Amino acid sequence: MAKAFLIVIAAYVLAGAAAVGTGIWFHAQQPIVIVGLADLAATIVVFIFSVLTNNSSMYDPYWSVAPVPIALFWLLQPGSDGFANPRHVLIFALLCLWAIRLTANWATQWRGLGHEDWRYEEIRKQAGFFYWPASLFGIHLMPTILVFLGSLALWPTLSDRYTGLTWLDGVAALVMLTAVIIEGTADLQMRRFRSKPESAGRVIPPGLWSASRHPNYFGEVLFWWGLYLFVPLAHPNFWWAIVGPVRHFAALPGRQHSPDGTPPARRAPYLRGVPAACVTIFPLVSHRKNMGTGHKITIFQFHHLSSSGSWMSLEA
């Protein structure tokens, strides 16, 4: 495991160096263009390591690591008063809290280069010869774009000067902190659930997982909305940064996890018919027994906007 972590660290150090080099090379461009190109360069380096190790899970920590250097870039802009501004300190501290927790969660769950996310394994089977192009665009570049869009809120909020705290900043900070707590609690409950022998054959842990199919995803969406809430009052002209949290929410229907992270085909028999991509943001919870097995299952009824634009009711 030590060797595997060293390889990951080397990959991300080189990715960071590529980002810095790209920023220097394109220093004459607009700052937002520099950030985008540097983000792309870092992603390409991580992708190269994914190919070299034959494991696309090399990219997994990127989601939580990338926003921190992006934030530092904006803080170090000539027009910013950096860490001398309490508002900047608050935003950066909350961002780092989220990043450290999420990265630590990945590190404690990672099983080395011999293990690859089951979703990537499924893509590998389906794509065959074209797996690596599919990995580049679907597993690496698409999440990078999502994180880049979510991080757009950092541009006005960290590159400004003399901006004071407002009541909405308090709400934003509370939302971000709540999101981190929800994600951390959900991950902790899942780890405890998996560690108990009596959990074998079950897929729904107690606690937050009994009220929402994906409380960690809910927390993640909540985090990006909280980050955006620092924008409207202080920088109303940057209202369009809302594309970040909106895009994060829109991506949720594509999630294909079952609650315990196992593929749909390996789920408990009494839940195999349950749609794995249900998004239970505002669930109405009820309980009933499966008539065929007698297992007590939790039914989540909610509404979500379908891809066709119509409202649909789903059960899980």
Q: What is the DSSP string of 223-279?
A: HHHHHHTTSTTT-GGGGGGGHHHHHHHHHGGG----TTS--GGGS-GGGTTS-TT--
pLDDT per residue over 34-76, tens digit each? 999 999 999 999 999 999 999 999 999 999 999 999 999 999 9
pLDDT of residue 231: 96
* DSSP assignment letter at 202: -
Give pTM, 2 decimals. Answer: 0.80
Percent of the chain with pLDDT over 70: 77
Q: How far is residue 24's CA from residue 35's CA, in Å, rounded to a whole number?
A: 11
Q: Chunked in runs of 10, what are the mean pLDDT values of the chain (316 residues)?
A: 90 97 95 96 97 94 95 95 95 97 91 87 91 94 95 96 94 97 90 74 71 83 96 95 90 51 47 43 44 41 33 32
Task: Name the one residue in this structure whose structure tokens are 């992006």.
Answer: 70
* DSSP assignment letter at 139: I
What residue segments make up the domains of the chain, in order of their start?
A: 1-153
pLDDT of residue 313: 31
Q: How far is residue 84's CA from residue 38's CA, in Å, rounded to a whole number?
A: 26
Q: Which tokens belong to 146?
A: 């999502």
Task: Name the one residue in this structure whose structure tokens are 């199919």.
Answer: 213
pLDDT of residue 288: 43
Q: Which tokens belong to 100?
A: 């450290």
- Using CA atoms, how far residue 16 sits from 22, 64, 93, 154, 181, in Å, is 10, 14, 21, 19, 29
CB 127 within 8 A of CB 202: no
Three-class DSSP category at 14? helix
Adjacency order of strands within the sheet including 284-289: 284-289, 296-305, 311-315
pLDDT of residue 13: 97
